[in-house]
Amino acid sequence: MSLIVQKFGGTSVGSAERIKIVAERVCATRREGHDVVVVVSAMGDTTDELVSLARQVSRRPPPREMDMLLTAGERISMALLAMAIEEQGLDAASFTGSQAGIITDTDHGRAKIVDVKADRIREAIAAGKIAIVAGFQGVSTALDVTTLGRGGSDTTAVAMAAALKAYACEIYTDVDGVYTADPRIVPNARLLHVVSYEEMLEMAATGARVLTLRSVEFARNHNVPLLVRSSFSYASGTWIKEEDERMEQAIISGVTHDTSEGKITIQHVPDVPGIAAKVFRTLAQEGLNVDMIVQNVSSAGLTDISFTISRDDGERAVEIITRLIPEVKAEGVTYDDGIAKLSLIGAGMKTHPGVAADMFSALADAGVNIEMISTSSIRISCVIREADVTTAVRVVHDTFGLSEESVIRETHPR
Amino acid sequence: MSLIVQKFGGTSVGSAERIKIVAERVCATRREGHDVVVVVSAMGDTTDELVSLARQVSRRPPPREMDMLLTAGERISMALLAMAIEEQGLDAASFTGSQAGIITDTDHGRAKIVDVKADRIREAIAAGKIAIVAGFQGVSTALDVTTLGRGGSDTTAVAMAAALKAYACEIYTDVDGVYTADPRIVPNARLLHVVSYEEMLEMAATGARVLTLRSVEFARNHNVPLLVRSSFSYASGTWIKEEDERMEQAIISGVTHDTSEGKITIQHVPDVPGIAAKVFRTLAQEGLNVDMIVQNVSSAGLTDISFTISRDDGERAVEIITRLIPEVKAEGVTYDDGIAKLSLIGAGMKTHPGVAADMFSALADAGVNIEMISTSSIRISCVIREADVTTAVRVVHDTFGLSEESVIRETHPR
């Protein structure tokens, strides 16, 4: 008998009807003989509604109180799920983040888990109960209620699975799993059966919305096998786990895209040491996260520095850079929010030269201009025009034959 | 500088707008130099909405999970109030029942407070903060979240005031205070400036909805002065406190009425010892609360036993009695849900004979038939037809001149 952690997101528990369906699913797993710990998010739009209420009473809600407010959301969904499970004849008990022993730092709104003291969860399991745990929340070392920020419920689930040494952490969502590309853009995108942690990290970092970077990192660090699957179907989903010599290895796992970033270029900066450091340290100090950075080759002692940044932060970044212009002796700064980032990800890339060349050729043949390039050992990312993104994703997906399993997968020698 | 506990009910915090108004009121009290602890209920219909959700997923929601669910309500209102107070420039922090140290027994849904360990509240006050405490909820000795049942937020406020030795516990509600009768029935009903605990207990027990019996009992037991006032006006409200020789004493404080009960009569029971005990013990074991009990004089060795009970429990009570009929050798049982209970309350009644006679005459003159009578040293209650209740309340209110302060109040000799 193994222990399985199942996490259900806001859409999966979006109504009383949906909660009953989730309860059936949880009970089925329990009846198969597994111990089950369930982690839930707040129902559907609850969090948005609570944020809206906060904005009505306060221009800048204090983070401690915002956390107190938002954690009401999971409290509702978890209690309802426990009721729905008991209605089906099995024992259940719900636990807040605090009761479940999710201990965090005191950084309200984006707290980090520092410890998991899951004694009450272990007791509930030992008593034959299905334990329901509030996602997204914890209690700080100062005994205040905290939230874990975006994707927090996934992180709770992974942390619980790690603490309880679960066989697997199943992430139930509104899609069937991880695809070779966004199926809304590429209709013949294929569901991946298995992806390594490293590949999933690159995919999450480059636009795949199915899992947050943070929860995948947590899973990798604690070696928790993840299974992403739909709460709306019984499709088998996608496993995310340690790369394994015996598993079939894909050269390329998928194509991702991201249209949430803009590009900032600092023009004609003197090509002397310290300029880039100055720019990016200042941005970091202001709390702005920069994604791709490219510095072009110098001509006549002057160079351009370009980087991408979330469009939400674009305006602030331009202001900051503008103030820096005299100091770094730049000619000016431009901001372009009409870009998209296209990425090709695959663990097999490391041992297969020529992937980048094939990708660039395919884009060129389709008339898509590449504005920036950045790579890791298992990823190639290009910045292109946002208007080209659909064409680009399709042509790259097609070039690498990602819709056909047999073509792009090879069995690794045992 | 004294400490004041202020409690705001669901209507008072029913919207973001209302919460801002409450925040202003709290801040005004703080700026007058008082330390303030605020106890809040859930916003408006939140509790009803949560109960409705529970019913959608479960025919009989487990009490532990029901408590987990319902306590989300105060969490929302208290966090919003803390935000609204900070928005006005004062420091505030909200605390769940558990954080505020409201320790209860394990009787979910109607838990009793067994201890108040208000250390975190004292710390918050010492740090210059306004402490916001979730009403209605606590944490059990088994570390589970509990609720205190109907009127629970008032009880929380009184318990906090007792633990913190507050100068007063102000109960803000949607009426101006305690009236000599229900102003919807008696337009010239008068607001009472002060009422003793004993009188308020009798009024609460006989239909006055402004405070629950339980919170008044708690206040009396811990000698916490209560001030009931409106959150919608700055009217001075009604004080409820220990009877004081120096205070003006009313012979009669008010008339109350209650149309929520029905009358059950067990007909022609043998007038032998043990019958009444058998009947009422059985009802108590089934968890049914009986209010007035009247046994008529025996004729030919047979008697009728009548009692009143909440209409919600009427049907069950009749079933139980029907099963008892063979055992107690009764002739039958009748149920009448067309009754009302009319009560006259006043601490001065003890020393003024003739009050009952005046009341009965007034009712007779108005053609109102009295079906049952029950009295305490400061109360006379009559069961009458529900159809007569408006006439009866008005005529009794008028007979004792309750709308005119000068007539019914006498200054007690100092």
Q: How big is the CA angle at A408 (ends A407 and A412), to the nearest 5 degrees?
A: 110
Q: What is the pLDDT of residues A196-228, one digit of tens each?
A: 999 999 999 999 888 989 999 999 999 999 999
Residue ending a domain, among A174, A208, A223, is A174
Tell me what the mean pLDDT of segment A382-407 comes to. Answer: 90
**Domain match, A19 and A166 both:** yes
Residue B218 lies in a domain: no
Any chain A CB within 8 A of the CB of B38? Answer: no
More confident residue, A110 or B248: A110
pTM: 0.85
Confidence check: pLDDT of B409 > 70: no
Given phi > 0 = left and psi -120 to 50 = alpha, else beta, which region is A381? beta
Containing structural domain, residue B166: 3-174
Give me the pLDDT at residue B413, please: 37
Give me the pLDDT at residue A248, please: 58
Give me the pLDDT at residue B412, please: 38
Give me the pLDDT at residue A408, please: 39
Smallest Cα distance from A119 to chain B, Å: 13
Residue A62 lies in a domain: yes
Residue B33 lies in a domain: yes
Any chain B CB within 8 A of the CB of A271? Answer: no
B84's CB contacts (< 8 A; 6+ apart) are A57, A58, B19, B20, B22, B23
Residue ending a domain, among A152, A174, A196, is A174
- In this complex, the residue of B57, B87, B143 whose CB is nearest that of residue A57 is B87
Tell me what the mean pLDDT of segment A152-168 comes to. Answer: 97
How does the average pLDDT of chain B come out, rounded? Answer: 92
Lookup: tokens for A280: 């990016």
Give me the pLDDT at residue A50, please: 96
Give me the pLDDT at residue B301, please: 82
Residue A105 lies in a domain: yes
Confidence check: pLDDT of B237 > 90: yes
CB contact under 8 A, A86 and B58: yes
**Domain match, A278 and A142 both:** no
CB contact under 8 A, B57 and A83: yes
ipTM: 0.83
Residue B25 lies in a domain: yes
Q: What is the pLDDT of residues A162-193, one digit of tens each?
A: 999 999 999 999 899 999 999 999 999 999 99
Residue B49 lies in a domain: yes
**Position A407 confidence tier, pLDDT thresholds 50, 70, 90:** very low
Chain A residue at shortest CA distance from B62: A83
What's the rounded Cα separation, in Å, for the pair B202 and B197?
Answer: 9
Tell me what the mean pLDDT of segment B274-297 comes to. Answer: 87
Lookup: tokens for A181: 């590309």
- In this complex, the residue of B19, B71, B82 whose CB is nearest that of residue A65 is B82
- In this complex, the residue of A17, A50, A79 whose CB is nearest that of residue B65 is A79
CB contact under 8 A, B16 and A79: no
Residue ending a domain, among A159, A174, A189, is A174
CB contact under 8 A, B69 and A84: no
More confident residue, A265 or A406: A265
Size of interface A-B (CB pairs under 8 A): 117
B217: closest CA among B190, B198, B238?
B198
Lookup: tokens for B289: 């609360």
Residue B30 lies in a domain: yes
Any chain A CB within 8 A of the CB of B274? Answer: no
Output the domain CATH number for residue A107: 3.40.1160.10
Any chain B CB within 8 A of the CB of A142? Answer: no
CB contact under 8 A, A53 and B16: yes
How does the average pLDDT of chain A come out, rounded? Answer: 92
Confidence check: pLDDT of A392 > 50: yes
- In this complex, the residue of B76, B84, B99 whose CB is nearest that of residue A58 is B84
**Domain match, A148 and A269 both:** no
Output the domain CATH number for residue A260: 3.30.2130.10
Q: How many independent structural domains does chain A possess?
A: 2
**Position A247 confidence tier, pLDDT thresholds 50, 70, 90:** low
**Domain match, A393 and A288 both:** yes
Confidence check: pLDDT of B321 > 80: yes
Three-state secondary structure string covering B57-113: HCCCCCHHHHHHHHCHHHHHHHHHHHHHHHHCCCCEEEECCCCCCEEECCCCCCCCE
Confidence check: pLDDT of A333 > 60: yes
Residue B97 lies in a domain: yes
Q: Which residues of chain B lie closer than 8 angstroms to A83, CB-CB?
A: 54, 57-58, 61-62, 65-66, 69
